[in-house]
Amino acid sequence: MTQPIKLTKLAECAGCGAKVGAGELARLLEGLDVRRDPNLLVGFDKSDDAAVYRVSEDLAIVETLDFFPPIADDPYTYGAIAAANALSDVWAMGGEPKVALNIMAVPEDMPKDVVHQILRGGYEKVYEAGASIVGGHSIYDEEPKYGLSVTGFVEPGSMWTNAGAREGDVLVYTKPLGIGIVVTAAKGGLATPEQLSLAEEAMMRLNRWPHDVALEGGFTVDAATDVTGFGVMGHLLEMAQGAGLACEVDAGAFDVLPGALEAARLGLLPAGTYRNRHFAADYVDGGDTELALLDLLFTPETSGGLLFAVPAEEADAFVATLTADGRVLAACAVGRMVAAGEGAPRIRVR
């Protein structure tokens, strides 16, 4: 009998842990000309989750793409996670995904059924999102990779960015933390099947749901981003710098996946943790926070949750509404935006 393929064994890095580090990415993009267009509301120069291009006063296109090597051994699960991760960028801008294109690289000898299951996972997540896959592009490669290019719509006056936070806003995060560490532990056989299953469930959960709660409930979203390859610290740093503010973070307020903190204490960290530390550590005052807990905040989160900045007077109701019907796995108030003091760190952890 043919042994099932373990997809994660075919890749050096898993999921968003394969992402080029933020510091290195900035150096790679340095000096590239940015075409000025008054209708380009958000471009790559703003370090946001997706580009936004205004078509009319009432309509703008949200454009993104994301793909990565296998984060799960099961091909259907891998495809679903990769799709959920790519779709998330559109919701992080306050938009609605509408159409998507597959991006796929597979070894020439990969069984057709495995490829089919990866694609099926992607298709079903896109349909759950209310969008359609309309084509794509595939190549042969020794290391499998899968993801999507996604196009969505948003009203220009209603879009969210990662730079609009205001002093006093409360930070709310919408998934359990520790995905990257649990997956790393599982690759070494040091996470239980139950722990890995919970991490995969978190990765497959669409960020459509917190997006919809925010809009349907009429909550004020001053800023939003999704937490992926740069970890909580990297994405928070972009949010703080974009707003000209600083963040105070309560590290103990995050919902954490079972086994993640214990694995961090054992040093079971993906390479992306160290890249993120190298990029963001100079801007962070960790205080007396336990090192393993800080590692959780620096670790890449494949298909992580949305991180919102909302007015303080709405925060309690927002958190309660997010968790009211079970569509959102977790909702925690994890910090607040504060004035940036001269020479002070952008992120203070307590």
* pLDDT tens for each residue of 285-302: 999 999 999 999 999 999
Cα gap 208→215, rounded to integer Å: 11
User: Has 16 been annotated as catalytic?
Assistant: yes
Measured CA to CA in angstroms, residue 336 lies from 52, 239, 305 at distances of 27, 12, 17
Beta-ladder partners of 338: 246
Domains of the chain in sequence order: 7-158 (3.30.1330.10), 170-349 (3.90.650.10)
Relative to beta strand 132-140, strand 59-68 is unpaired
pLDDT in tens, 5-20: 778 776 666 555 555 5
Q: Determine the straight-line distance between the first and last CA of the chain, rounded to whole angstroms.
A: 54
Which has the closest alpha carbon to 159: 318, 48, 244, 241? 48
At 151, phi and psi to the nearest 5? -115, 130
Here the tokens at position 272 are 């992306």
Catalytic pick among 13, 16, 247, 332: 16
Q: What is the 3-state secondary structure (H, E, C) of the chain?
A: CCCCCCHHHHCCCCHHHHCCCHHHHHHHHCCCCCCCCCCEEECHHHCCCCEEEEEECCEEEEEEEEEECCCCCCHHHHHHHHHHHHHHHHHHCCCEEEEEEEEEEECCCCCHHHHHHHHHHHHHHHHHCCCEEEEEEEEECCCCEEEEEEEEEECHHHCCCCCCCCCCCEEEECCCECHHHHHHHHHCCCCCHHHHHHHHHHHHCCCHHHHHHHHHCCCCCCEEEECCCCHHHHHHHHHHHHHCEEEEECHHHCCECCCHHHHHHCCCCCHHHHHHHHHHHHHEECCCCCHHHHHHHHCCCCCCCEEEEECHHHHHHHHHHHCCCCCCCCCEEEEEEEECCCCCCCEEEC
**Amino acid letter, residue 169:** D
pLDDT of residue 1: 34
Q: Which residue ranges of the chain lie beneath pLDDT 70?
A: 1-4, 10-32, 34, 46
Which has the closest alpha carbon to 168: 307, 332, 339, 306? 339
The length of the chain in residues reads 350
Beta-ladder partners of 255: none
pLDDT of residue 44: 77
Give the annotated binding-site residues for Mg(2+).
49, 89, 226
Cα gap 76→38, rounded to integer Å: 41
Q: Which residue has the tokens 């940036």?
A: 340
pLDDT of residue 2: 44
Cα gap 350→347, rounded to integer Å: 10
**Beta carbons within 10 angstroms of residue 335's beta carbon:** 26
